[in-house]
């Protein structure tokens, strides 16, 4: 026993005196420090993934915008947000995966700056780029929930952060955006072309993005603060907006995992068939003979009636109903027909196809309706969060509000349509034909400017569900269908607060409900939604 005790004592002495303990306690296979560049790139990628994906547990905005309908499980199209805890998941991604990475990127950038070695202008550009992404994300959170944790949200020491009313968040992020814009130096560098997945280190691209984001924020508050919105629009125009689709805030996904577009992961890799294009948008596009439809959806093979006596296909006569888009796969193959018309059996070799939208708000058979177009099944499809077409529609709206813009409301409206169609590779002849239709032309289209701009903006935002839903909330155009058993008032104006907030942050949660008017339900409107 004495020998055993001696050995234990000796080992303890040796270990207590070993000056390698700090070294031995360092992890060998895990990163102990992450660079600002990596944090920034990861935060930006997460920001795009958050907005691009169509995971029914996180992002249901293509459903809320009535671009897509569901097949087997239509709960989300019937506005059940609770079963899958969708608000909780979207909230978590925004704060944990996006804002926290970006905030840490800013901290590391500042801490590692060496004035004797590093270029200050480059460092300030990097901080401005990070800031622009944080501002974008906070704006999305406000637009989704109404009031959100803001000033205390990213402080690791505060486990139950207080909320800030949405209008106050907007005022602060507008000030922060102005500061970021004034900081950006287009003659200096930024993050490397590899780490900056949006503009590949081009500060001029970031400046156009920042000003275009400023224009967006201005239009969001135009109904509640017209004077401030007018000033912001004027400043954004002077600062330089997107001038073409080449300026879009986009990232290029890759053809192989793990860098594929989340749409591909949901539509293809998952092996599921959960979505078809909704009748809401198909009917609208067919009524307007919209040439983007074969890009937005896949055609369905037309089933010719068969003569029982001869067992031969026969002509099919359409005598009533709205405009129908016929699609003959191949170049220049879209034909728009208004009843009465005939699909001739002799053309069956051309494999004529039709487009059918699934009934919004109910379950649909996948094989009986048109799914999303082929391009949305491409793993390398780029992701978008702000584009040139949207900027042009904002300018059209600004012009209608009496704000000085580079062109007339009609010209910006037409340019918005043109920009969207060029993005989806529609040829110029079809673009011109579309714009000249009385149902589309600005002077003759139905409704006031909110209806005209709203419809065309919504059609252009097909691959950006959140903004499509926001356009409807903000401009109140008539287009949406109401699911059976519900009313138009049931269509959500916001996401409810995360369910976990009621138990983990109860006092601030109750205060937040008071901030938005006293009711945490989907009918409560965001502060900028006065109509």
Q: Coil, helix or strand for 301?
A: strand
DSSP 8-class letter at 26: S
The whole-angstrom separation of Cα 473 and Cα 43 is: 28
The whole-angstrom separation of Cα 299 and Cα 355 is: 5
Considering the domain architecture, whether residues 157 and 263 belong to the same structural domain is answered as yes
Contact 190, 132 (CB under 8 A): no
Q: Coil, helix or strand for 165?
A: strand
Average pLDDT over residues 462-491: 96
Q: Is residue 296 part of a domain?
A: yes
The whole-angstrom separation of Cα 177 and Cα 131 is: 8
The tally of domains found in the chain comes to 2
Q: Is the pLDDT of residue 73 over 70?
A: yes
Contact 384, 249 (CB under 8 A): yes
Average pLDDT over residues 96-110: 98
Task: Give the domain extent around 53.
Answer: 36-269+380-515
DSSP 8-class letter at 425: T
The whole-angstrom separation of Cα 413 and Cα 394 is: 9
Contact 299, 87 (CB under 8 A): no
At a CB cut-off of 8 Å and minimum separation 6, what does 498 contact? 85, 87, 88, 91, 92
Confidence of residue 3 (pLDDT cuts 50, 70, 90): very low
Q: Is residue 522 part of a domain?
A: no
Q: Is the pLDDT of residue 51 over 60?
A: yes
To which residue do tokens 């996006």 refer?
98
Residue 340: cis peptide before it, omega within 30 degrees of 0: yes
Considering the domain architecture, whether residues 88 and 183 belong to the same structural domain is answered as yes
Q: Coil, helix or strand for 467?
A: helix
β-pairing verdict for 147-149 and 163-165: antiparallel
Considering the domain architecture, whether residues 230 and 292 belong to the same structural domain is answered as no
Which pTM value belongs to this model? 0.92
The reported pLDDT for the residue numbered 333 is: 73
Considering the domain architecture, whether residues 350 and 403 belong to the same structural domain is answered as no
The reported pLDDT for the residue numbered 330 is: 64
The whole-angstrom separation of Cα 419 and Cα 242 is: 11
Among the candidates 335, 364, 393, a domain finishes at 364
Contact 158, 505 (CB under 8 A): no
Considering the domain architecture, whether residues 301 and 156 belong to the same structural domain is answered as no
Q: Is residue 304 part of a domain?
A: yes
Q: What is the mean pLDDT of the chain?
A: 92
Considering the domain architecture, whether residues 501 and 443 belong to the same structural domain is answered as yes
- Reported in sequence order, the residue ranges of 296-440 that DSSP labels E, i.e. its strands, are 300-301, 306-307, 312-313, 316-318, 324-327, 334-337, 341-343, 353-354, 383-386
At a CB cut-off of 8 Å and minimum separation 6, what does 383 contact? 48, 49, 51, 52, 250, 251, 253, 261
Considering the domain architecture, whether residues 355 and 294 belong to the same structural domain is answered as yes
The reported pLDDT for the residue numbered 243 is: 98
Q: Is residue 15 part of a domain?
A: no
The whole-angstrom separation of Cα 483 and Cα 492 is: 12
Q: Is the pLDDT of residue 9 over 60?
A: no
Q: Is the pLDDT of residue 15 over 70?
A: no
Considering the domain architecture, whether residues 335 and 463 belong to the same structural domain is answered as no
pLDDT digits (tens, 9 = 90+) for 421-439: 999 999 999 999 999 999 9
The reported pLDDT for the residue numbered 325 is: 79
Q: Is residue 463 part of a domain?
A: yes
Q: Is residue 27 part of a domain?
A: no
Question: CA dihedral in degrees (453, 298, 72, 270; nearest 10)?
Answer: -110
Considering the domain architecture, whether residues 92 and 231 belong to the same structural domain is answered as yes
Considering the domain architecture, whether residues 119 and 221 belong to the same structural domain is answered as yes
Considering the domain architecture, whether residues 104 and 146 belong to the same structural domain is answered as yes
Q: 212, 227, 222, 198: which is closest to 135 by C-alpha?
A: 212
Q: Is residue 428 part of a domain?
A: yes
Whichever domain contains 244, its CATH number is 1.25.40.390
The reported pLDDT for the residue numbered 12 is: 44
Q: Is residue 2 part of a domain?
A: no
To which residue do tokens 């919004």 refer?
360
The whole-angstrom separation of Cα 474 and Cα 526 is: 9
Q: 79, 84, 85: which is closest to 499 by C-alpha?
A: 85
The whole-angstrom separation of Cα 200 and Cα 189 is: 10
Kindly write down the DSSP assignment for every residue of 303-342, as one continuous string. ---EETTTTEE--EEE-SSS-EEEE-SSTT-EEEE-SSEE
Considering the domain architecture, whether residues 261 and 283 belong to the same structural domain is answered as no
The reported pLDDT for the residue numbered 302 is: 85
Q: What Rg value do the Cα atoms of the chain yield, rounded? A: 27
The whole-angstrom separation of Cα 527 and Cα 225 is: 11
Token couple for 406: 């580079």
329 vs 511, residue with greater confidence: 511
- Per cent of the chain over pLDDT 70 is 93
Q: 465, 501, 372, 478: which is closest to 77 by C-alpha?
A: 465
DSSP 8-class letter at 275: E
Q: Is the pLDDT of residue 332 over 90?
A: no
């Amino acid at each position: 026993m004495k020998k055993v005790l001696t050995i234990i004592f000796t080992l303890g002495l040796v270990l207590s005196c070993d000056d390698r303990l700090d070294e031995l306690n360092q992890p060998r296979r895990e990163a102990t420090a992450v660079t600002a560049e990596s944090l920034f790139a990861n935060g930006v990628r997460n920001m795009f993934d958050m907005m691009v994906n169509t995971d029914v547990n996180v992002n249901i905005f293509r459903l809320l915008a009535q671009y897509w309908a569901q097949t087997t499980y239509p709960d989300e199209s019937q506005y059940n947000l609770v079963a899958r805890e969708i608000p909780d998941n979207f909230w978590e991604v925004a704060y944990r995966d996006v804002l926290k990475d970006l905030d840490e990127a800013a901290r590391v950038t500042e801490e590692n700056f060496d004035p004797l070695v590093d270029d200050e202008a480059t460092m300030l550009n990097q901080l401005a780029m990070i800031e622009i992404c944080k501002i974008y994300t906070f704006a999305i959170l406000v637009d989704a929930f109404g009031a959100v944790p803001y000033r205390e949200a990213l402080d690791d020491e505060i486990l139950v952060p207080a909320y800030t009313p949405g209008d106050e968040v907007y005022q602060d992020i507008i000030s922060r955006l102005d500061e970021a814009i004034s900081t950006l130096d287009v003659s200096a560098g930024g993050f490397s072309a590899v780490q900056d997945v949006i503009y590949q280190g081009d500060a001029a691209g970031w400046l156009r993005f920042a000003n275009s984001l400023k224009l967006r924020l201005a239009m969001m508050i135009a109904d509640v603060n017209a004077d401030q919105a007018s000033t912001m629009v004027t400043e954004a125009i002077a600062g330089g907006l997107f001038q073409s689709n080449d300026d879009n805030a986009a990232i290029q996904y890759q053809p192989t995992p793990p860098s594929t577009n989340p749409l591909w992961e949901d539509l293809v890799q998952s092996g599921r068939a959960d979505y078809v294009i909704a009748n809401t948008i198909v009917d609208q596009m067919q009524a307007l003979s919209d040439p983007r439809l074969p890009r937005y959806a896949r055609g369905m093979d037309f089933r010719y009636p068969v003569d029982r006596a001869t067992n031969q296909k026969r002509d099919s006569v359409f005598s009533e109903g709205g405009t129908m888009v016929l699609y003959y796969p191949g170049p220049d193959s879209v034909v728009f027909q208004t009843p009465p018309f005939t699909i001739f059996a002799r053309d069956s070799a051309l494999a004529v196809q039709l487009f059918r939208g699934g009934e919004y708000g109910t379950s649909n058979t996948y094989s009986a309706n048109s799914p999303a177009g082929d391009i949305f099944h491409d793993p390398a499809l780029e992701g978008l969060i702000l584009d040139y077409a949207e900027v042009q529609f904002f300018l059209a709206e600004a012009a209608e509000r009496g704000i000085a813009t580079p062109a007339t409301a009609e010209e910006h409206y037409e340019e918005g349509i043109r920009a969207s169609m060029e993005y989806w590779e529609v040829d110029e002849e079809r673009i011109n034909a579309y714009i000249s239709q009385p149902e589309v032309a600005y002077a003759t289209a139905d409704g006031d400017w909110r209806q005209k701009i709203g419809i065309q903006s919504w059609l252009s935002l097909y691959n950006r569900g959140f903004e499509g839903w926001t356009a409807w909330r903000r401009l109140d155009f008539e287009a949406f269908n109401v699911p059976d058993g519900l009313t138009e008032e049931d269509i959500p104006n916001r996401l409810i607060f995360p369910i976990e907030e009621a138990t983990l942050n109860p006092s601030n949660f109750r205060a937040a409900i008071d901030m938005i008017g006293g009711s945490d339900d989907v009918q409560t409107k965001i502060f900028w939604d006065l109509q």
